[in-house]
């Protein structure tokens, strides 16, 4: 049996996703053995339909279904793009448009400190509160 025949015999096609029904690994992806080597099923499907995966790129499931091997649902993207499209902590953080105090995360009100976004207005409020606390301490101690 050819590799392609063996591969497609393990796929359940519907009008949308084509689900891998065979071996799965702990991270939720389908896997098949090719010449004694384990290969992700979605990557093999992508390569058959669209050619080699460009160096440094991941295959993103546009449908968000990790067992889907439909090449129309697969796209080669950077690791960063793949992570930001998903339901990860990084993606949720980037999707936030306002700080917890409802100030906008825009160019004027946002700074990056230690790799994280900070609200400048909240920083000003904290700084002013510390200033007033110190002044009160000085007057109480005098």
Q: What are the boundaries of each domain within the chain?
A: 1-95, 98-142
CA distance 116 to 133: 27
Burial class (CB in 10 A: 0-12, 13-18, 19+), 61: buried
Span 21-75, pLDDT tens digits: 999 998 899 999 999 999 999 999 999 999 999 999 999 999 999 999 999 999 9
Considering the segment(s) 1-95 as one domain, its CATH architecture is: Alpha-Beta Complex (3.90)
CA distance 48 to 92: 33
Q: Which two tokens stand for residue 67?
A: 């067992």
CA distance 41 to 38: 9
Span 103-130, pLDDT tens digits: 999 999 999 999 888 999 999 999 999 9
């Amino acid at each position: 049996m050819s590799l392609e025949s063996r591969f497609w015999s393990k796929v359940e096609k519907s009008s949308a996703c084509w689900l891998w029904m065979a071996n799965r690994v702990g991270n939720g992806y389908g896997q098949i053995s090719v010449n004694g080597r384990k290969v992700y099923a979605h990557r093999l499907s992508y390569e058959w339909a669209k050619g080699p995966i460009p160096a440094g790129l991941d295959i993103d499931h546009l449908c968000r279904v990790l067992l889907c091997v439909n090449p129309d649902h697969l796209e080669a993207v950077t690791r960063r793009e793949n992570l930001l499209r998903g339901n990860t902590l990084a993606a949720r953080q980037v999707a936030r448009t306002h700080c917890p105090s409802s100030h906008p995360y825009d160019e004027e009100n946002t700074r990056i400190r230690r790799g994280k976004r900070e609200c400048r207005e909240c920083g000003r409020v904290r700084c002013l509160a510390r200033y007033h606390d110190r002044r009160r301490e000085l007057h109480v101690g005098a």
